Structure 1
């Protein structure tokens, strides 16, 4: 299967698309079209909505708000042996099918060292992609959630990049953590 080169997708989605060999931008103004933007201001303080002790290390995740990006604090090295998904804030929209095209804001953090390797919050722009065209852990985090939800996922290397992704600083075996705001879905 040939890879379609993404034009507006952030580096994570571009990397995920190359792994999946599929990346299609959303067309039209259907229900998946994002009406807003991703807040770029850093979250300040607050109580984490999810804490998880891993096989090693731990994480504390605070979801985004209308005016602030999410925060993921890592006590490294953080690892898990099974992918964990947690709904930080439930939305009231329709359920997202596993084959939907979605529009999201997201923050990706490496559990090995706590570094941010990708974020649509940095650019302030939502990212649109087909859910069946990204890494398994991202699919597990979003499919079955409701539009408007903010979710977090701590994924195993097998559900992320089993062989690593050097251009993003991801090594073989790295556990990845994402905070994701689901803005829209269609299909």
Structure 2
């Protein structure tokens, strides 16, 4: 819990964890491209998508994705216009293969593998169910090129349409195979992301 709070403070003034650790095992790959949405984008859609909802999901909201892992299970409810997503973990949760689920399909353009996207997301550790990173907690989306993030995050978003909400259960190999102590991620941890794609360029 303390590491999550510390991480949130740290990330408020730097790129998100997904970007900072885009090389999976190296902090040397830090980039400043992900410090919220681009000021250069002046479209009405981008202006409307300058924040991520911070409110808790409605109590009793039905899960849009239930997945039994090799160990444990998850239930994922995507975000709405007013509320952050909810990821419930029966820990320890792990998967042997990265699995992607479209929770709500958007009606925007298809996202290419090398696109730059603006997203709201949260990352949860399957080992203990803790949230290790969340743009929803910060209230601001992150913009980054898909070819500069961990493989599981790219697999989740590439091929989706703008406006979609997505759940993904990521293997350690597609996340942080060597772990990431700053985020409390250990070697072998499977991760869960809940993502909303706001825009693409």
Same fold per TM (> 0.5)? yes
**Equivalent position of 1:35 in the other structure:** 48
In structure 2, stretches of 5+ residues that fail to align are 1-12
Instruction: Kindly state the Cα deviation for residue 8 of structure 1 after the two structures are TM-superposed.
Output: 4.2
Cα deviation for residue 28 of structure 1 reads 1.7
Aligned residue number for residue 130 of structure 2: 115
Per the normalisation by structure 1, the TM-score is 0.90
Q: 2: CA distance between counterparts of 1:147 and 1:73?
A: 25
Q: Structure 1 residues 117, 128: CA separation in 2 closer, same or farther (over 3 Å shift)?
A: same
Show CA shifts across 1:31-84 (max 9, x none). 794632100011122110000000000000000000000000000000000000
Shift of 1:16: 2.8
For structure 1, which runs of at least 5 residues remain unmatched after alignment? Answer: 1-6
CA contact (8 A) 2:94 2:171 kept: yes
The size of the alignment, in residue pairs, is 181
**1:169 maps to what in 2?**
184
Match of 1:9 in 2: 15
Instruction: Give distance in 2, aligned partners of 1:20 and 1:35.
Output: 33
CA RMSD of aligned residues (A): 2.0
**1:1-187 equivalent positions in 2, closer than 5 A:** 8-16=14-22, 18=26, 21=29, 23=31, 24-25=33-34, 26=38, 28-29=40-41, 33=46, 35-36=48-49, 37-44=51-58, 45-186=60-201
How far apart in 2 are the matches of 1:79 and 1:141? 17
SS in 2 for 1:157: coil
